[in-house]
């Protein structure tokens, strides 16, 4: 484990703040240790680890901002990084909209550190892979995927009194199993390795691969779909990227423009950003040290709000405060972003959604989802790793993959049911499975 600890990071931060000649100074210190065991064809083929530490300094003088970052925490690097930030600040034009670095806010800690996960050995990760590979072999199938364990800590301090520290661990188990021309996917993630439901991941990915053999082609067109959480999550994450940040709204580039307070999708849709959700356990503050607020984005289909950092909030004085969604300073030109999206579930079960479908598709997940038209949230992507035809409430067999091109908010307005159960998916979104009527598929492929 590579943690420096709060006291040591604070000591380093104080040296930066004391040495700075700027009117305002902010320092972000991070350390991390990542281990990832990757496997394919039932063997571990890549197995990696890394130990990181970084410092990012932002200095402000006369509203001129300089940002410098370095990947080391020795005294010379720290001094050089501060000097570089001040050098950039000296020549950068004034940013008139900038007000100040944030003042400290009340930060309630979020418990997200598991010592056993931080100390996980490569042998322990290999053990999970071995269990999955054995299950796959029993079905003459091949497993690919990853087991990952991570440890991280962050300290944000600034000259206006912010001192925010957080440490966390993370674990992920992801499986894509192929069985002939069949393919199945399952995943789980949590702050602790012991909380991963590895049995479910193994059972679901192997079982789905077996069931999706010999897929049959169907024509593209509009058809009802039951989207599993992984498929829903990739759509919701893209909505977050496109439209739930204040910058896109202020610049007229969000599907929320002119629609705050208006209905933009179906009543069944409520999406919030909530780092404090027990399943997510996100960082309790952002990269400016501002406490992350719970932000309603869409409530019962109505556009409610977007997320802010201190700069974007300052552009709308008196109307908004930072919601605690600043990105690291080097990515500030992208604006604030939601990173802990939670979508409300409904009252159905997955089996119930399938049973209530006369003719439709069950979609495990999408591949390579991208934007076609930003203002209408038109997205495209492919199905993968298990797409099945539903007829008269029953799954009748696998089908070959399809491309969708769909205005997602319009599609969400055709929601015909959401599951009560929700899953935390790869994009960091907690979401249910959902049924949508008339989802538009625009292309086919031969597998």
Partner 1 sequence: MNQLAQHAVELMRRAGVAYGDVRFVETREQDLAVNNAVVESASEERSRGFGVRVLINGSWGFHSSYIVTEAEIARVVDVACQIARASGLVADKPVTLAPVAPARGSYVTPHTKDPFAVPLADKLALLVKASELMMGEPIGVSQSFFAAYETRKIFASTEGALTDQTIIETGGGIAATAVGDGEIQVRSYPNSFRGNFATAGYEYFESLDILAHAARVKAEAAELLKAPPCPSGRRTIILDGGQLALQVHESIGHPIELDRVIGMESAYAGDSFLTLEKLDNLQYGSKLINVVADATAPGGLGTFAWDDEGVPAERTAIITAGRFVGYMSSRETAPVIGRTSTGSMRASSWSRIPLIRMTNVNLLPHQGTLAELIADTADGLFLATNHSWSIDNKRLNFQFGTEIAWEIKAGKLGQIFRNPTYTGVTPEFWNSCDAVCGPSEWKLYGTPNCGKGQPGQTAHVGHGVAPARFRNVEVGVMKQS
Query: Least Å distance between CB 19 and partner 1?
Result: 18
Query: Least Å distance between CB 66 and partner 1?
Result: 7
Q: Is 395 exposed, middle or buried (0-12, 13-18, 19+ CB in 10 A)?
A: middle
Whole-number Cα distances in Å, 439 to 92, 135, 382, 405, 442 = 49, 35, 13, 9, 10
Pairing label, strands 221-227, 359-373: parallel
By CB under 8 A, name the one of 17, 27, 146, 353 that touches partner 1: 146
DSSP character at residue 291: B
Q: Is 265 among the residues that bind partner 1 (CB under 8 A)?
A: no
Nearest to 164 by CA among 382, 373, 324: 324
Candidate segments 7-15, 76-84, 295-303, 336-344, binder of partner 1 by CB under 8 A: 76-84
Candidate segments 251-259, 283-291, 389-397, 430-438, binder of partner 1 by CB under 8 A: 251-259
Candidate segments 75-83, 154-162, 268-276, 345-353, binder of partner 1 by CB under 8 A: 75-83
Q: Under rule CB under 8 A, which residues in 335-364 are in contact with partner 1?
A: none
Query: Least Å distance between CB 232 and partner 1?
Result: 18
Candidate segments 6-14, 16-24, 229-237, 247-255, binder of partner 1 by CB under 8 A: 247-255
DSSP character at residue 92: S
Q: Under rule CB under 8 A, which residues in 26-65 are in contact with partner 1?
A: 34-53, 65
Q: Measured between alpha carbons, how far is 77 from 139 in angstroms, rounded to an integer?
A: 54
Q: Under rule CB under 8 A, which residues in 285-304 are in contact with partner 1?
A: none
Which strand (E) or helix (H) includes residue 240? helix 229-243
Report the residue number, 247 or 435, with the smaller CB distance to partner 1.
Answer: 247
By CB under 8 A, name the one of 29, 268, 297, 378 that touches partner 1: 378
Burial 155-189 (b: 16+ CB within 10 A, else e): bbbbbeebbbbbbbbbbbbbbbbbbeebbbbbbbb
Whole-number Cα distances in Å, 209 to 275, 334, 335 = 34, 39, 40
Q: Is 216 among the residues that bind partner 1 (CB under 8 A)?
A: no
Q: Under rule CB under 8 A, which residues in 379-438 are in contact with partner 1?
A: 380-382, 384, 401, 403, 405-407, 410
Q: Is 66 among the residues that bind partner 1 (CB under 8 A)?
A: yes
Tokens 């691969």 belong to 209
Sketch the per residue contact string, 317 through 336, with partner 1: x for CB under 8 A, - otherwise: ------------xxxxx---
Q: Is 133 among the residues that bind partner 1 (CB under 8 A)?
A: yes
User: What's the alpha-carbon Rg for the chain, to the nearest Å?
Assistant: 23
Q: Is 126 among the residues that bind partner 1 (CB under 8 A)?
A: yes
Query: Least Å distance between CB 134 and partner 1?
Result: 9
- What contacts 421, CB < 8 A, 6 or more positions away? 345, 349, 350, 432, 433
Q: Is 443 among the residues that bind partner 1 (CB under 8 A)?
A: yes
By CB under 8 A, name the one of 10, 15, 84, 395 that touches partner 1: 84
Six token digits for residue 399: 């089908």
Q: What are φ and ψ of residue 332, in 5° steps?
A: -60, -25
Number of residues that bind partner 1 (CB under 8 A): 96
By CB under 8 A, name the one of 249, 313, 353, 369 that touches partner 1: 369
Candidate segments 168-176, 272-280, 341-349, 413-421, binder of partner 1 by CB under 8 A: 168-176
Q: Rounded to 5 degrees, what angle do the CA atoms 392, 399, 369 make? A: 110
Q: Is 252 among the residues that bind partner 1 (CB under 8 A)?
A: yes
By CB under 8 A, name the one of 1, 161, 195, 368 that touches partner 1: 368
């Amino acid at each position: 484990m590579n943690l420096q600890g709060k006291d040591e990071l604070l000591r380093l931060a104080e040296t930066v703040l004391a040495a700075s000649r700027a009117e305002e100074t902010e320092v972000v210190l991070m350390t991390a240790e990542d281990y990832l065991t990757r496997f394919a064809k039932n063997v571990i083929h890549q197995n990696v680890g890394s130990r990181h530490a970084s410092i990012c300094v932002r200095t402000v003088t006369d509203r001129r901002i300089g940002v410098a970052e370095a990947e080391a925490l020795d005294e010379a690097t720290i001094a050089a990084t501060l000097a570089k930030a001040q050098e950039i600040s000296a020549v950068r034009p004034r940013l008139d909209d900038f007000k100040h670095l944030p003042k400290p806010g009340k930060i309630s800690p979020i418990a997200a550190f598991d010592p056993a996960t931080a100390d996980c050995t490569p042998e322990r990760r290999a053990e999970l892979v071995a269990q999955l590979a054995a299950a796959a072999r029993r079905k003459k199938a091949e497993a690919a995927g990853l087991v990952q364990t991570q440890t991280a800590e962050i300290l944000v301090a600034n000259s206006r009194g912010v001192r925010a520290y957080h440490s966390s661990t993370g674990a992920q188990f992801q499986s894509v199993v192929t069985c002939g021309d069949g393919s199945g996917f399952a995943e789980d993630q949590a702050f602790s390795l012991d909380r991963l439901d590895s049995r479910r991941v193994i059972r679901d990915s192997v079982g789905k691969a077996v069931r999706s053999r010999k897929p049959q082609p169907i024509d593209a067109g509009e058809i009802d779909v039951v989207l599993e959480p992984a498929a829903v999550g990739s759509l919701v994450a893209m909505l977050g990227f496109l439209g739930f940040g204040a910058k896109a709204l202020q610049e007229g580039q969000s599907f929320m423009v002119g629609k705050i307070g208006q209905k933009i999708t179906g009543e069944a849709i409520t999406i919030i950003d909530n780092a404090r959700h027990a399943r997510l356990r996100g960082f309790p503050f952002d990269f400016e040290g501002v406490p992350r607020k719970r932000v309603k984005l869409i409530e019962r289909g109505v556009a409610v709000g977007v997320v802010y950092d201190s700069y974007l909030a300052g552009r709308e004085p008196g109307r908004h405060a930072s919601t605690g969604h600043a990105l690291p300073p080097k990515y500030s030109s992208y604006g604030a972003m939601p990173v802990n999206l939670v979508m409300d579930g409904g009252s159905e079960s997955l089996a119930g959604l399938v049973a209530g479908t006369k003719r439709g598709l069950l979609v495990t997940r999408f591949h390579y989802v991208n934007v076609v038209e930003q203002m209408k949230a038109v997205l495209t992507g492919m199905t993968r790793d298990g797409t099945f035809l539903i007829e008269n409430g029953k799954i009748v067999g696998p089908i070959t993959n399809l491309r969708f091109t769909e205005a997602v908010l319009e599609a969400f307005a055709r929601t015909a049911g959401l599951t009560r159960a929700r899953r935390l998916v790869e994009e960091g979104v907690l979401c249910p499975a959902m049924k949508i009527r008339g989802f538009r598929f625009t292309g086919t492929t031969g597998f």
